[in-house]
Amino acid sequence: MVYEFDPISQSFSGGGVTGTMTVDPSARFKFETTTYTVPVDIVTSFQLLWLLNLTAGAGVDFVFGHTDLTLTTGGSVNTQINSGSANINPGSITITGETDDVSPDRVRPKIMAGLGLQLGPVKIDMPVIYYPSAGAAIGLTAAFVW
């Protein structure tokens, strides 16, 4: 992923010289993520009049894997002299950083609830899973039951 920032300008003065320095930065992100999840859940449901299905439960996800992140930022630095004289060459800025083999949270507890609708052999469920450490996830499941 590459992100181009707006140029940044700064005026300067000193020693009889005035001018403007402009930096034109960009950032390049590289992500590599591998995750394996083993869910363990206890769920129950209640069906009302073969039409409405209410689901509730709790569980835990056991997560294995790693994440690598590389960040490179850089840009050109150009200087414009407005008055006075100075010998200033164009320059550049480069910053790099990375993380290597960062593991995810190994255990992620969760609570679940859901609402479903059954119309003959067609069943539609909308589960909501809440992870206290990360927030909520909403899904949609459609099935044909025979």
pTM above 0.85, yes or no: no
pLDDT for position 79:
83
141-144 vs 52-83, strand pairing mode: unpaired
pLDDT classification of 142: cutoffs 50, 70, 90: very high
pLDDT in tens, 90-111: 788 888 888 877 777 789 999 9
pLDDT for position 136:
95
Higher confidence at residue 78 or residue 128? 128
Q: What angle do CA 93, 95, 96 make, to 5 degrees?
A: 150
pLDDT in tens, 12-64: 888 888 888 888 888 888 888 898 999 999 999 998 888 999 999 999 999 99
pLDDT for position 24:
86
For every residue of 64-133, DSSP letters joined together read EEEEEEEEEEEEEEEEEEEES------EEEEEEEEEEEEPPPSEEEEEEEEEEEEETTEEEEEEEEEETT
* Structural domain span for residue 80: 2-144
**How crowded is residue 91: how many other Cβ atoms within 10 Å of its Cβ?**
12
Number of domains observed in the structure of the chain? 1
Q: Are 112 and 60 contacting, i.e. CB atoms less than 8 angstroms apart?
A: no
pLDDT for position 146:
83
pLDDT for position 90:
79
pLDDT for position 98:
82
**How crowded is residue 129: how many other Cβ atoms within 10 Å of its Cβ?**
19
Residue 70 φ/ψ region, left for φ over 0, alpha for ψ in the -120 to 50 degree band, beta for the rest:
beta
